[in-house]
Amino acid sequence: MWLYMIAVALIAIGLLGGIALGGIFTLVLVPLGLIAIVSGIAHAVVTRSAATSTEAADTTRPERPLRTSQPRDSGHVPTDPEALVNARREQQ
């Protein structure tokens, strides 16, 4: 969506500048705006076609049930100061 806004702004500035000033506005900004519009449309088409193909692929797979077991202790080191002091005392 933001690409369309940039393209419209470039085209508007290019056309107004081309009418009033000519030169760089006509030669650079109008083609840049057209490139932005074409690439925005191509991006939208590709994104929509990819979204429909992934939606079709996702419906064929069964969903996995959620895990019911608790996660194992990962051996995480305590991080609060008192726990660190206690852990250090146990090691000595």
17 vs 13: CA distance, rounded Å: 6
> ∠ at Cα 36 (33, 37), nearest 5°?
90
The total number of structural domains that make up the chain: 1
- Paired tokens of 45: 């088409």
* Model pTM above 0.85: no
Domain that holds residue 12: 2-52
Average pLDDT, the chain: 75
19 vs 26: CA distance, rounded Å: 8
> 40 lies in a domain?
yes
> pLDDT tens digit string along 23-55?
776 677 778 878 888 888 898 889 888 877 666
32 vs 18: CA distance, rounded Å: 14
> 36 lies in a domain?
yes
Place of tokens 């051996």: 75
